[in-house]
Structures are given as structure tokens and as C-alpha cells.
Amino acid sequence: DFCQALQKVNLTGIPHGLSFEETKELWVRADLDGNGVFDYEELKKIWNMTMMNQSGNCKESVMVSRKEEGEDKEEEEEAIGLKVKKAVLFPEEAEKGLWPESYSLSDHACLTVHFSPVKMFCS
């Protein structure tokens, strides 16, 4: 189940996880062919779109459906991407390149990232 998978990786729940509406929107955007299954081919498309965005070939937009925007361009491919809203290291000193005295050099700083879904259009 999609929601259970998101829960296992701590992407849902209070206080920092995705809300029910955000989870629903993510599912709608991830299930590209609308068949109710998020399969490997859809994952590859999303992954490829994310990689293309990094090279500047994709245009990012807010999570608004293209029909609401009045566009029906069939030559553009659509996928979902993730945008980093906020990233925080713990302990906070690690963000400044410092290491607390109570930590050894082999300790790792924890990274917490908040993502938001974005629609990607590629031509």
C-alpha cells in the first residue's frame, strides 16, 4: 500500500510528515497512467524527469493541473518531482561545519529534509 510505504520511510504523520491531502496529491501525480498502480515504469519516468530537471531541460510548476491552466499540449511529457522545502542537520553545529565535543569524528550528523511535490513538464 502506497500510504504504508510512505509511513515506513517517515514521510507521513504529525508533525512534519505529509498531510492526507498532500499524500493524495502525491499519489495522483505519481500514478502517471491513472491505473491505480505506481509501477516501476512510472518510477523510471519520475526519476528521469528529476534528472532532466537538474540539467535544465524541464520546467517546474506549482501543483496545478494543466487543464486548470487551459493547456492541452500533447508534445510535453508530465511527471512529478520533489523539491526540497527545508533541510536541517542535527546537531545544529554541523550546519556551521563544527562538531560538538560530545561527538566523535566517526559520528554522523542526521539530515532531516522536508519535500514538496512539483509537477514537471518536459518537451
9 and 43 in contact (C-beta within 8 Å)?
A: no
Residue 49 has pLDDT above 80, yes or no: no
What are the boundaries of each domain within the chain? 2-122
Banded pLDDT at 122 (limits 50, 70, 90): low
Helix%, strand%, coil% for the chain, nearest 5: 35, 25, 40
**Residue 27: which pLDDT band, with cuts at 50, 70 and 90?**
confident
| Cell numbers found for residue 50 | 528529476
3-state secondary structure of 59: strand
